[in-house]
Structures are given as structure tokens and as C-alpha cells.
Amino acid sequence: MNFWAVFKVAARALARNKMRSALTTLGIIIGVSAVIALVSIGQGAQNMIQGTINGFGSNLLFIVPGNVTQNGANVTTGGGNTLTVEDVLAIEQELPGIAAASPMLQAGRQGIYGNQNWNLRIQGTNEKFGRIRNWKTDQGSFFTDADVRSAARVIVLGKTVAKKLFPGEDPVGKSMRVGNLQFRVVGVLAEKGSTFGNDQDDTTVVPYTTVQKKLLQRTILSIGQAMVSATNENATKLAVTQITELLRQRHGITEDQPDDFRIQNMSDVAAASGNVLQIMTLLLAGIAGISLLVGGVGIMNIMLVSVTERTREIGIRMAVGARPSYIRLQFLTESVVLSLAGGIAGMIIGGAAAAAFAWYLEWPTLVSTLAVTIAFSFSTAIGVFFGYYPAHKAAALDPIEALRYE
């Protein structure tokens, strides 16, 4: 049997009703393009979140004060003065699974240089910020432990801040105003990029002691939060347990009392985010896949109509020697050609839709080979599945009755 000849006959039969054939493939086109576009958007979002979390460091822990019981209810707003600098030092010095730790304080001030100004988001940390966050300096250097101990007025700029305040200039070594105080720029952080519209480079880093004493003018030693880096990703769960036990002991918390702090494990955040996005992606793909089934029903309907319209043609072919298997293959090929045409068009439209979405909304997408393969294979399978019954019906026609059909 010449399969190429069968394909040409199928193509000619479909070309006789171009509009009907195009409308028949529309369901397959919509289904395949929707699956590819939605899966690409979902996987792009998943990769972006994973990349952002990895940029923070998968072995990174945040300790937030709070979770204090008030009037029988747990307050988990991160408020309170339950976390101190001494707590952070104890965590770093007494726990073997901790590579580095830093207190954190935050403040907001207006940054001014020359005739340029920018609203600064200031992070107060120690000299280990770059090691903990895996964030290197692109220009200059980071401040030192001596700067932290002396509460020096030094500042490290994010890329965005450097571009806004020092356009076309090297900011390292220059003085700028932060609020009412003069600060010396010692370095510029390497570029991190944006995440969900949040510019990570729109930040500045100064010694936490400087934030505490000179910007916030606090005399108490409590801090807003702490960031801790475990020795490796596998050590984070053990580190959480050790930190919890140490802080409960230091804060005098009894067994029947809740923690007055919370520990956020970035590994757990990454895993939870990945699972949620994967489920959402599969759900969206499943919803889009329903249109593929609808398209398959459309193919079956049109093929049944085609069998009815071409009953006399089938009778003539059988009369001149065509076997039922050839008739079955002929109509099955037409069904598969329709679904393949819809699948190819759907892949092109789906990829283009994902690219347009990424361009217009600045949202990363990932057109995976697996998603394309599954969508294309599914569309082909639909052509075979929904085309078999009409093809079998055509092959089962009685030649004499078919020749009599008007």
C-alpha cells in the first residue's frame, strides 16, 4: 500500500471543502495553543521564582521577632523587641551548622547627590551581607567589620540607585547625603534584576549600627530581623532546630509557651512555591486540554458527515477493488491530517502568544520541549481516536448499497 498516495488523496479530499476543514481544525488549534501558552507562562513563572529564591540563597534563613501571645491570641506580625544583636552573635558563634549571620534593620531616607535625588530603601547589616546573600560588589568594595563597630557613615549602592544618583559617573569614593547626614559611597552591588516588578537593585546597604544609632537613633539593642546562612542547603533543617532551641533558651521560654520569633526557611519557600506553581500549571493545561477533546468531537462529526456525503464514492472504490482496510486507512488519514494541521498551527500560535505575553507584560516564559511534544502527540492521538469510528463506518459499508446511495 502506497501511504504517500493515500496522503495525497486525503489532502485533495480535505481541500475540496477548505472552509469546513479550517473550521474543523479550529478546536485543535485553540487547544494546542492554549496548552503551550499556559504551560510556558507557568513554567516561566516557576523558573523566575526559583531563580529569585536561589539568588537569595537556598541555605538562607530569616529570623523575625514576633509570635507573642497577647490576650490568648498569637501575634505574628514580626513586631516586638524579642530579637537582639546578642542573639545573632550567639547563633553564629555557638551553632556549628551556621556559616554566617547578620542583624538586619531597615530604614527609608531621601538620597541626594548634586541635583539628583532618590528615595532610598536602606538595609542595615554587617560586613557578611555579601557572603550570606551571595551578592558581590561590581565596583569598589563592601564595608568592613571596623565600619560596623564604629557605626561609620559608609554606604553600598544597588545598581539602580547608582544609576539614578550618579548618571554617567563612578560613585565609589564620592560623598552623598542620606537624609541630613553625609555618607561615603564605598561600593556598588552587582546587578540582580527585577522580580514580579520588584527591582532588587533599588536598594542600599549600610552598617546596621549606623542605621540603629544615626538614622533611627535607637538606644535599645533589638533588631528588626536577622538573616542566617547555613553551611549548605542540606543543613538548613537542622539549623532551624538548633536556632529554635538556642533562642528559646536565651529568651527563657518554657515548654508550654510559644516561640516569640519565627524562622523562614528559603528552601521550604522554594519547594512550596514550586509545588503550587506546578499544580496551577497542570490545572491550566488540563482546562486548556478540554478544548482539544471538543476539537476531537468536531473532527468526528465532520468525518461522519464526510462519510455520508461520499457514500457513493466509497461504493465505486470498493467496486473497482478497494479493500475495506484501504477505505478505513483513507478516512483515518484525513482525520489525522486535520488534527496534525491543527497541532502545527496551534504550536506556532501558542509559542507566539507566550512570546507576546512575555514582551508586553515583561513576564518570563519558557516554551518547553516536553509541553510541545505532549500537546502535539495528544492532538495526533485525538485524530486517530475520534477518526477511527467514522473510518470504520466507511469501511463497513456494503458496496451495492453504497452504489445505490443518492
Three-class DSSP category at 200: coil
Judge contact between 104 and 78, C-beta under 8 A: no
Nearest residue to 75 (alpha-carbon basis) of 339, 258, 342:
258
Alpha-helix residue ranges (DSSP H) falling in 112-158:
129-133, 145-149
Report the pLDDT value the prediction gives residue 301, as an integer from 0 to 100.
84
Determine the residue type at 332: L
**253 is written with which cell numbers?**
521560654
The C-alpha cell 539628583 sits at 116
Report the pLDDT value the prediction gives residue 76, as an integer from 0 to 100.
45
Report the pLDDT value the prediction gives residue 171, as an integer from 0 to 100.
94
Judge contact between 82 and 222, C-beta under 8 A: yes
Nearest residue to 296 (alpha-carbon basis) of 388, 382, 391:
382
Report the pLDDT value the prediction gives residue 78, as an integer from 0 to 100.
45
The C-alpha cell 500537546 sits at 375
Q: How far apart are CA 224 and CA 64, in angstroms?
A: 7
Name every residue whose Cβ is closer than 8 Å to that of residue 204 and which is 6 or more positions away in sequence: 111, 120, 121, 122, 123, 155, 156, 157, 158, 161
pTM of the model: 0.63
**54 is written with which cell numbers?**
536561589
**390 is written with which cell numbers?**
467514522
Please tell me what DSSP assigns to residue 148.
H
Q: How far apart are CA 206 and CA 105, in angstroms?
A: 10
pLDDT tens string, the chain, 406 residues long: the values are 566 777 777 777 777 888 888 888 888 888 888 888 888 887 777 777 666 666 666 588 899 987 544 444 444 444 456 788 899 999 999 998 888 999 999 999 999 999 999 999 999 999 999 888 888 999 999 999 999 999 999 999 999 999 999 998 999 999 999 999 999 999 999 998 776 567 889 999 999 999 999 998 876 667 888 999 888 777 888 888 999 999 999 988 888 888 888 888 876 666 666 677 777 777 777 777 777 788 888 888 888 888 887 788 878 888 887 788 888 888 888 888 888 888 888 888 988 888 888 788 767 777 777 778 877 787 788 888 888 888 888 888 877 776 766 5
